[in-house]
Chain A
C-alpha cells in the first residue's frame, strides 16, 4: 500500500459518486448541487450553535445535566449511525473488499482504506462539529481543562465505527448465501424497529407522571374546599386569601420535594447506566471534565480506543480468514441429497399453491395472482413491509387505551376507514410499482401471451388478502375500543372492497406511468429520477382524495341525522352496497383500457425497470 494506491482508491470512490449523479437526470444534479452548497454553512452553523450553547448555557448547569446532554448526543449519533448501517446493508453491492483483493495491494491496506471510507457519512458530518463546538464553547467559558473531553469523544467515534465495521464484516460473511442475506437484513431491521419503539413505550408508561401531574389537581381540590368554607361563612375574605396562598406554598414545596426526589432518581440511574455501558463512558468523562477532574476522561479514552482497536483487529482477522477460505459462519450451504423420488404423477397428489384454481377467474389471472402472492410473501423485503403495521398497531393501541375517549356512534365508522387507509398506505408500494419488484420477472410477463388486463387483475387480486391481513388486527382493536353498530360493521365490508377498487385503479395507473427501478432484493429505488418520483407522489395524494368517496354513505347518514333528525336507520349500509357495486363495475371497465395501455407501454416499462444500475 502506498500513496499511489490511496489516490487511486479515493479517485474510484469519487468516480462512482459522480457517475451515479450524472447517470440521473439534471433535476438530480440540481438537487445535489443545492444540498452540497447548503452543507458547508450547515456544518458551520452546527458548530457555532453548539459553541454558543456550550459557552452560555452549559457552565451553569449541574453535572448530571452535562451527563444527560452528552448522553443525548451519543444516543442521537448511535441512532443516526444505525440508520446509515441499515441502508448500507440494503445496498446490493457496496465497495466490497473482494473487488480489490486480486490487485497487488496488501489486504491490510485495502482493509484500512475501506474502513476510512465508511467514515464519510452524514452522521459524522453532523455530530462531529456539534460535539466539538460544545467542547470548545465550554472550554472557553469554564476551564481549559475541559478540552480534555475531546479525547473520549474522538475515542467514542472510533469505537462505534470500528465496532460496526466489525459487525458489518461478520454480517457480510453471513450473507454470502443470498437467501440468508435477505433474512439477515430483515432480522436486523426488526431489531432496530424494536429499539426505535422504546421511547414510545416509555412515553406510555410515563414514570414521572405521578410526581408532577398531581400538583394542579391538588391545588384545585384545596381551592374548592376553601371556597366552600368561605361560602359557608366560616372565614373572612382576608383569611380566605391567606389560606389560599398558604395552600399554594405548601403544595408547591411538596411538589418541588417530589420533583427533587425524581431528579435524584434520574441522577442515580443516569450515572449507573453510563457506568455500566462502556459507550456511556464518553459522557461520563465529559461530565467529570466539567467538574475539573480529567481522570475519567482519560480512562474512557483508553478503554474506548482499546475497544475500537480490538474490533478492527478482529474484523481484520475475520476478513483474512474469509478470503483464505477458512471461514465458517453458520453452516455451509448443504445440498439436499439427490432424491430420485420425483413427485408422483398421481392426479390425487397434493395440489400446490401455484397449481390452484380460483373459481370465476381466468387461468391467466389465477396464476398471476398466485405467483405474485407467493413472491410477496416469500421475498424478505416485502415481508418486512408487511411487518411495519405492527408499529402502527402499537401507536394506535396506546392512543386508544391511554384515556377514555368519547366517540359518538356515527363517527366510529370513520376510525375504520382510517385503519384501512393505513393498510393501503403500506400496500401502496406493492402495487404502485408492481412491475419493478421482481425486475427480470416482468420480462416473463412481456413474453407471455396473456391478455394484459388479466395480468393486472391477477396482480391486484394478490394484494387483496395482504391488505385484509394488514387491516384485520387494527380493525379488531378498533372494534374492541369503539364497537360499531352492527349495520355499520356490515357496511364496512363493502367499504373495504370499494377502497380496494379505488386503490387498485390509481395504483395501476401509477405502475404503468411511472415505474421506478428497484435495487435487486430491496425496496429501495435503484436510481432516483425526478419525474417518476413526482408522479408517484402526486398520484399517491390524488389517491387519498379519491378514497374520500367511501365516506359518502356514512356522511349522508350523519347529515340526515343532523338536519332531518332521521336517526337509527341503517342508511349507510344500502348506500355502501350500491357504491361498492358501482366501483367494482368502474374497476372492471378501467382494467380494460389499463390493459391496453400496459400493452403499449410494456416495452418502455421493461427498459425502465431492468435499467442496469451501478
Chain B
C-alpha cells in the first residue's frame, strides 16, 4: 500500500522568499495528521501544493501514490481528494444546495445520492435553514461549514483541511470532530492544520511541525508526548522562548492610565 502523502525536498518561493523550504512529509494511510506551525510558517502553502492549487518551485510529491506534477495522475488523485483550501472555493452567486450539487456532479456522484448526502450534510452541520441563501451572504463560520460539506460530499480517501475549526461554533466543532474521527477510523486519511493544540492533541495520531518553511518535527503523537506535552514541544520548536515573561517585555502595558 502506498503512502497517503509523500514529498521530497518540496519547496516554494515567492520571489526571493522561501515560504516552504525542502520538506519531506510522510503520511501513512489511515492516520490523522496534524500539521502545526506558527503564523506564516508555510502550512497553507504546503497544502496548496499538495492539492494542486499551487505549483512547487522544487521537489517532488506523491499524493495517494499519484505524482502531482503529472497531468494525468494529478487528475486521478483529485478524484479521491476532499479539500478545504485556505480561502475556500465557493461561488458567490450560488446557494448552498446549488453549490453542493455542482461539487457532487463534478465528482460524478449520482443525482439521487447527491440529494441524500446534501440533506444529511446540511442537517448535521446546522445549515438547513440557510440553504437558500447565496454563499456571499453567509457568515464566516457558515462558509467554513459549507466548504467542509463540499469536501466530504464525494466521500474522498484523503481530506486536506486548512484550519477547519477556525470560526466554527462549539456545537459544530464537536460534530466535525466526531465526523473526522469516524472517517479516519474507517481507514481514510485526514491532513489538517490548526492553531488549537487541544483539538490536535485530542484528534491526531501523527503530528508535523513546520517553522519558517522547514519541517522541524514529524512523529506520532504518542512518541512526541513521551518526553513532554504537545504544547511544550511546540513552543520549544517554534522558538517562542518567552516562558511567561512576555508581560515583562512591555512594562508600560501595566497599570491603569498613562
Interface string of B119-151 (1 = CB under 8 A from A): 100110000110010101100000000000000
Which of B80-88, B166-174, B229-237 is the contact stretch? Answer: B80-88
In this complex, the interface size class of chain A, counting residues with CB under 8 Å from chain B, is: 35 or more
Contacts of A370 in B (CB 8 A): 102
Instruction: Choose one: B55, B75, B81, B108; the contact of A363 (CB below 8 Å).
Output: B108
Q: Contact between B54 and A354 (Cβ–Cβ < 8 Å)?
A: no
Interface string of A577-596 (1 = CB under 8 A from B): 00000000000000000001
Q: Contact between A367 and B55 (Cβ–Cβ < 8 Å)?
A: no
Q: Contact between A339 and B116 (Cβ–Cβ < 8 Å)?
A: no
- Chain A 587-614 interface residues, beta-carbon cutoff 8 Å to B: 596, 599-600, 603-604, 606-607, 610
A207 contacts partner chain B, Cβ-Cβ < 8 Å:
no
Q: Contact between A336 and B129 (Cβ–Cβ < 8 Å)?
A: yes
Shortest Cβ distance from A23 into chain B, in angstroms? 13
Q: Contact between A347 and B112 (Cβ–Cβ < 8 Å)?
A: yes
Contacts A177-B137, A345-B112; A603 near B52 (Cβ below 8 A)? yes
Contacts A335-B129, A352-B98, A379-B93; A440 near B112 (Cβ below 8 A)? no
Instruction: Output the nearest chain A residue to B77 by Cβ-Cβ distance.
Output: A449
Contacts of B128 in A (CB 8 A): 338-340, 342
Contacts of B111 in A (CB 8 A): 355
Instruction: Output the nearest chain A residue to B103 by Cβ-Cβ distance.
Output: A444
Contacts of B122 in A (CB 8 A): 342
Instruction: Output the nearest chain A residue to B120 by Cβ-Cβ distance.
Output: A342
Q: Contact between A438 and B91 (Cβ–Cβ < 8 Å)?
A: yes
B225 contacts partner chain A, Cβ-Cβ < 8 Å:
no
Most central of B115, B129, B134 by chain A CB within 10 Å: B115
Interface string of A447-459 (1 = CB under 8 A from B): 1111100000000
Interface string of B86-105 (1 = CB under 8 A from A): 01111111100110011101
Q: Contact between A447 and B134 (Cβ–Cβ < 8 Å)?
A: no
A29 contacts partner chain B, Cβ-Cβ < 8 Å:
no
Contacts A345-B112, A447-B53; A179 near B134 (Cβ below 8 A)? yes
Q: Contact between B98 and A354 (Cβ–Cβ < 8 Å)?
A: yes
B188 contacts partner chain A, Cβ-Cβ < 8 Å:
no
Q: Contact between A449 and B106 (Cβ–Cβ < 8 Å)?
A: yes
Contacts of A378 in B (CB 8 A): 93-94, 134
Complex CA gap A441/B92 in Å reads 8
B194 contacts partner chain A, Cβ-Cβ < 8 Å:
no
Contacts A178-B137, A448-B78; A367 near B105 (Cβ below 8 A)? yes
A371 contacts partner chain B, Cβ-Cβ < 8 Å:
yes
Contacts of A345 in B (CB 8 A): 112, 115-116, 119
Contacts of B92 in A (CB 8 A): 375, 379, 438, 440-441, 520-521
Q: Contact between B101 and A440 (Cβ–Cβ < 8 Å)?
A: no
Complex CA gap A339/B128 in Å reads 8
Contacts A343-B115, A374-B98, A603-B52; A440 near B137 (Cβ below 8 A)? no
